[in-house]
Every structure is written in structure tokens, then in C-alpha cells.
Structure 1
Amino acid sequence: MSKKNTQKENVTLPKKVYNFCSKKKLILGVVIAVIVVFIAGAIIRGIHLAIEFKGGTLITYTYQGDINTNDVASNVKDIVGSSVIVRKGESLDSGGKQITISFTSEEGLTADRQTELTSTLREKFPDNALEIYDSNDVSPTSGHEFLLKCFIAVLFAALIVIIYIAIRFRNIGGWSAGVCSIFALCLDLLVAFTTTVVCGFSIDSNIVAVFLTILGYSINNTIVIYDRIRENRKLMPKASLNELINVSCTQSLTRSIRTSVTTIGTMLIVTIVVLVTGYDSLLSFSVPLMMGLISGTFSSLFVAPVTWSWWKNKKAKKEKEAKSSK
């Protein structure tokens, strides 16, 4: 008996094989729920683009003592005439206290208006010894270009993933597997984006970092599932595609859960630390990433393989009907 035949006979199946392929309604329900929440969040909370995407002005002041950011925002708003965001921080060089004021401004901040703003703040907060530290203008054109480049980067990465999966898993229908993996990835990115909108975070460079991180994490998990399916195809040549997917996902379930608990737990700790220390700017990274990672675990086990199964079975059914009609 050949070694190959021996391997086929020694296939060890899990004690209980879960029927992942029967969860099409669950997947559809999750996708619809995410879309509904996104639309509701966009209507109720709105979508807020950060300055790097829509243009504006950033001014940083050093200060002493304690200062009320709401009062600062109110005084600046009276001068610039647009919504203002004020954040506290510390200088990396000296460790001194800083406040960063950001607001939209199509024309930028002229020297005269900057002088007026600084004088007003010093007058309103005489005990805080405000000194200008840095000032930057971001034009709307640059912001739009940056947004377009971010979109192209994500799109290019998705295209590379499809090509990679198509070549690596060509023996089990690589192109369809690649497209389904991108569909699953789109759900993960939508979950992260929806979290950003619902939580009221501004759409800034953090969301781009979140998208790229989720892309790598989710695709890695999906490739592990596909690789298991490919190996089981050799060991179980007579099994149907649904049987292969159910067995492969069941075998990978424990590994996926353990990996996810570790990664998501780390992001949860980061979120808690950020909340305790008051560095709120990191929340727009940690919270969407955490939700995206949770979605990535679900999509790798359910969305990608199950939609791929639906695609392949539907294609096989059409080919069978075409042959029978001849």
C-alpha cells in the first residue's frame, strides 16, 4: 500500500463536526444588521472627517496650571466661526503641558488672525501662560489627495490578496475563493468603520491604520481555513465541498478562538488604559480595531468559506442543468 493511500485512510475527524455551511441566513442577517447600524449611525451621529482629510488648521500651545478645554473651544469658535476640537497633551521633548486646537478652515489661518487668536486666549486665560508651540495649515486639496491615496492603498492590497489566493489555491478554485475572502474582508472593514461612526470618532489616519491591520489579520485567518480545506481535499477525495468546509472550519475553530482572544484581549487592555489615562485620541484606533478583529474571526470561519461554498455549488448546479438540457 502506498504512503498516499495510507494518509487517506488515516484521516482523523473531529468528534463533532459543526455545520458551518448551514449558516447562510445567519451571515445574511449579520451583514444586514451591520449595514442598518451604519446607516442609522451616519444619519444620527454623522460622518466627521478629520482635518487631514478635509483641510483645516492645527495650533498647539504650551500652558501651565489647569485649563478648561470647553472654555478654550468656545473662545476659539467665536473667532474662527467653525466647530473647534481641543485636546490636552504633553510635549515629548520637555514633558510640558500642551493643548492642540483644530478647526476647519478653507482659507487657512493668516498671521493676523493667529495673532488675534493668541492674544484673545492669553486675555481669557491669564494664569495659564499660553505660548504658541506649533501651527500648521492643511489645505482641502491635500486632504482629498490623502484620502484618495488611502483608498487606493486599501484597494491595491485587496487586489494583491485576490491574486495571491487565486494562485496559491488554484487547485480548489482559487479565484472564487479570493473574491469571497474580499467579501468577508469588506464586512470586517464595514464593522470597523461603523464603530467609528457610531462612537462619534473623526475619520482620520487612525482608521487607515485600522483598515490595513484588519486586512492582514482577517486574510491570514482566512488563508489558514483555505489551506486546511486544500489539505483535507487530498485526504478526503470523495467528500463534498460542504463536508470539507465543515470539517476544516471545525478543525480550525479552537485555534481561531484562542488567537482572537489573545489579540482582542490585548486591544481591550489598551482601550482600558487609554480611558484611565485620558489619551482619548487613541480610542479612535483601539475601539474600531477591536470590533474589526471580532468581525474578522467571524468572517474567516463563516463568511468567506460559506459564501465560497454557495458560489461553487451554484456554479456546479448551473453546469449540471446546462449538460442535462443538451
Structure 2
Amino acid sequence: MIKFYEKRKIFFALSAAIMIVGLVALFINGVNLSIQFKGGAIIKYSYTGEMDAEVAADKATEILNRNTEVQLTEDLATHSKKIVFNLSGNSGLDANDQDKFDAELKKAFPDAQLELSESNVVQPFIGKRFLTNGLIALGLTSLFIIIYVRFRFKKISGLSAGVIGLIALVHDVLVVFFIFVIFKMPINDSFIAVTLTIIGYSINDTIVIYDRIRENKPYFEKKTFEELVDTSINQSLSRSINTSITTGISILIVCILAFAYNIDSIKTFAIPMLVGVISGCYSTVCLAGPMLVMWHKRQQEA
């Protein structure tokens, strides 16, 4: 049997190291907010053949004298390809600028047969509202999780279980955030989607272990709380690992397809999601249980 509580310092040190690496990357790379959050213009073209996103971004920046991000997408069913230009700034494009951009872009890539398919302007206040609403959604989700766990697991100190579950979720959210920072991926709606998904995935895994602790508690009345938690985690370990492996393989396949077809929008979802699944399993097994024992011991000492 693995004694998770005894090894807690190793797990805490590993998590601390991950946080430090993430903070260093944050200091070096900064936070790259997408057009959806900071405002600008989004222009989509359909194209044929092959295009290089970096070359297209450089050309668009040269034409408009504005920082431009480019994403390539492909519909796997119809094989239709689109190139998306995200133009940062506090305004969109007027008719003259867009006509100039269209003409110069088609001149620069004559073989791509570019055709304008969509043009949208995102005002800064709309992007700010979108970001605010996304953060509110994360906050409300966390609050409801604490309330649910608080009443669902009264027999194992529901408040401590809820707070520790939240700490594990914050750990996973930070890991996902740092993945976006390290790989210099723009913080966009994919970040909100991945974060909410990982929160649900991770708390579900944690609740399974809490449920096992509650079921085992009547049989461990003469043993320590540490033994109860360690035993319960070990009994749930294969389930947690197998679930994570199964989920991870599915996401890995999505990652491979995203890289094979160079679909940036899928990459920004699948890569953080894959890391988040691993982090969710790790935080549930290696962090939540030992922290619950620490909380219980401090309550007894008080």
C-alpha cells in the first residue's frame, strides 16, 4: 500500500516546483489575451492548398501595421480550409483598410485562392465583458462545488473536504493557465472551456475518493484517520489512473490530428486539456488526501 500522507512533502515540493516554473514563464512571456478578450477584428478567409500561418501573420502585420495573430483551421468532414486573422487594437477595420488588406493579401498569396468568408469587429468593452463573465462562471462553479461537498460529506468534515477540494481545483486551474503561458497560446474561449471541463473532471475524481473514505470510516474506528485516507486512496487508485489514461488517450488522438492538420484552434484546447487531465488525477490522489489528513490532525490538536 502506498502511504500518500507520509510522502506528502514530495508531492507538495513537486507542485511548488511546477508553480515556480509557471511563474517564471509568466514573468518572461507575460499573458497573451486573445482578440476575444482585448478587442480588435477577426477576419476569416477560405483558401486552398497550403499556407504558413507565420508567413501570413507577418504579411498581414506589414500591410496593416498592426499586430496580427493567425490560425489555420480545417473541417475534417468537408476538408474546407480557413485562415483566421486576429487583429489586435481598439478598433476594427474601416472599408478602405479592409479593401486594401484584401487586395494585398490576395496579391501576396495568389495560389491560395483566398475568399473572404467572415469579418467581425470585437470592441474592447465586449471583450472585457466576455472575460469578466468567464471568470464569474469559474468563481460560481467553485462556490457551488464547496457547498455541494460541504453537505454531501458531513461525516468526514464536509467543510474541510470542500475547501481542500477547491484548493486542488485551483492547483489544476493554475497548471492549465501556465500551459497557456509557457506555450505562448492566447487566452481565449478555449481557456474558459478547458478550465471548466477540468474543474468538473477533477472534482468528480476527488468526490469518488471522498465517497470511499466515508464508506470505509465505520470499519476504521480503531485506526487513525491517516490510515483511513491512505487505504481509501489506494482502493480508488486504479479507477483514477484508468479513467485518466482512457481520457488522456482520447485527447492525445485529438492532439495528433490537430498537429497533423495544423489546426491551431484545436491545439489550444487539446494540449492544455491533456495536461489538465494528468494534473486532475495527480491533485486528487497526491494532494487532496494528504491535505485532508493534515486538516483533521490540526483540528484534533486544537
Coarse TM-score class (shorter-chain normalised): over 0.9
Q: Are the aligned partners of 1:222 and 1:304 in contact in 2 as well (CA < 8 Å)? A: yes
Structure 1 pair 109/307, CA: closer, same or farther in 2 (3 Å)?
same
Deviation of 1:186 after TM superposition, in Å, equals 0.8
* Distance (Å, rounded) in 2 between the aligned partners of 1:134 and 1:75: 19
* Distance (Å, rounded) in 2 between the aligned partners of 1:74 and 1:255: 48
2:34 paired with 1:62: no
* Distance (Å, rounded) in 2 between the aligned partners of 1:84 and 1:135: 14
2:33 paired with 1:49: yes
Secondary structure of 2:120 counterpart: strand
Percent identity for Structure 1 against Structure 2: 37
Structure 1 pair 127/309, CA: closer, same or farther in 2 (3 Å)?
closer
Among 104, 117, 137, the alignment partner of 1:153 is: 137
**Structure 1 stretch displaced more, 232-241 or 216-225:** 232-241
Q: Are the aligned partners of 1:166 and 1:175 in contact in 2 as well (CA < 8 Å)? A: yes
Alignment of 1:104-123 (within 5 A): 104-123=88-107
Q: Are the aligned partners of 2:73 and 2:264 in contact in 1 as well (CA < 8 Å)? A: no
Among 116, 121, 128, the alignment partner of 1:137 is: 121
Q: Are the aligned partners of 2:212 and 2:232 in contact in 1 as well (CA < 8 Å)? A: yes
Secondary structure of 2:277 counterpart: helix
Deviation of 1:68 after TM superposition, in Å, equals 4.5
Among 246, 256, 270, the alignment partner of 2:230 is: 246
RMSD: 1.9
Among 288, 297, 301, the alignment partner of 1:313 is: 297
Q: Residue 210 of structure 1 aligns to which amino acid in structure 2?
A: V
TM-score where L is the length of structure 2 = 0.93
Deviation of 1:266 after TM superposition, in Å, equals 1.4
**Structure 1 stretch displaced more, 115-124 or 53-62:** 115-124
Among 175, 181, 206, the alignment partner of 1:191 is: 175
Q: Are the aligned partners of 2:43 and 2:84 in contact in 1 as well (CA < 8 Å)? A: yes
Deviation of 1:246 after TM superposition, in Å, equals 1.0
Structure 1 pair 297/66, CA: closer, same or farther in 2 (3 Å)?
closer
Instruction: Report what 1:278 is aligned to.
Output: 262
Gaps of 5+ in 1: 1-16, 319-326
Structure 1 pair 169/114, CA: closer, same or farther in 2 (3 Å)?
same
Secondary structure of 1:61 counterpart: strand
Q: Residue 77 of structure 1 aligns to which amino acid in structure 2?
A: T
**Structure 1 stretch displaced more, 72-81 or 61-70:** 61-70
* Distance (Å, rounded) in 2 between the aligned partners of 1:253 and 1:103: 47
Gaps of 5+ in 2: none
* Distance (Å, rounded) in 1 between the aligned partners of 2:113 and 2:227: 71
Q: Residue 65 of structure 2 aligns to which amino acid in structure 1?
A: G
Q: Residue 264 of structure 1 aligns to which amino acid in structure 2?
A: G
Deviation of 1:200 after TM superposition, in Å, equals 1.6
Q: Are the aligned partners of 1:34 and 1:190 in contact in 2 as well (CA < 8 Å)? A: no
Structure 1 pair 136/311, CA: closer, same or farther in 2 (3 Å)?
same
Instruction: Report what 1:297 is aligned to.
Output: 281
* Distance (Å, rounded) in 1 between the aligned partners of 2:218 and 2:176: 37
2:226 paired with 1:257: no
Give aligned pairs, total.
Answer: 302
Q: Residue 288 of structure 2 aligns to which amino acid in structure 1?
A: A
* Distance (Å, rounded) in 2 between the aligned partners of 1:180 and 1:257: 20
Structure 1 pair 277/132, CA: closer, same or farther in 2 (3 Å)?
closer
Q: Are the aligned partners of 1:233 and 1:239 in contact in 2 as well (CA < 8 Å)? A: no
The structure whose Rg is larger is: 1
Q: Are the aligned partners of 2:63 and 2:101 in contact in 1 as well (CA < 8 Å)? A: yes
Instruction: Report what 1:208 is aligned to.
Output: 192
* Distance (Å, rounded) in 1 between the aligned partners of 2:285 and 2:184: 30
Instruction: Report what 2:158 is aligned to.
Output: 174
TM-score where L is the length of structure 1 = 0.87
Instruction: Report what 1:221 is aligned to.
Output: 205
Deviation of 1:65 after TM superposition, in Å, equals 4.6
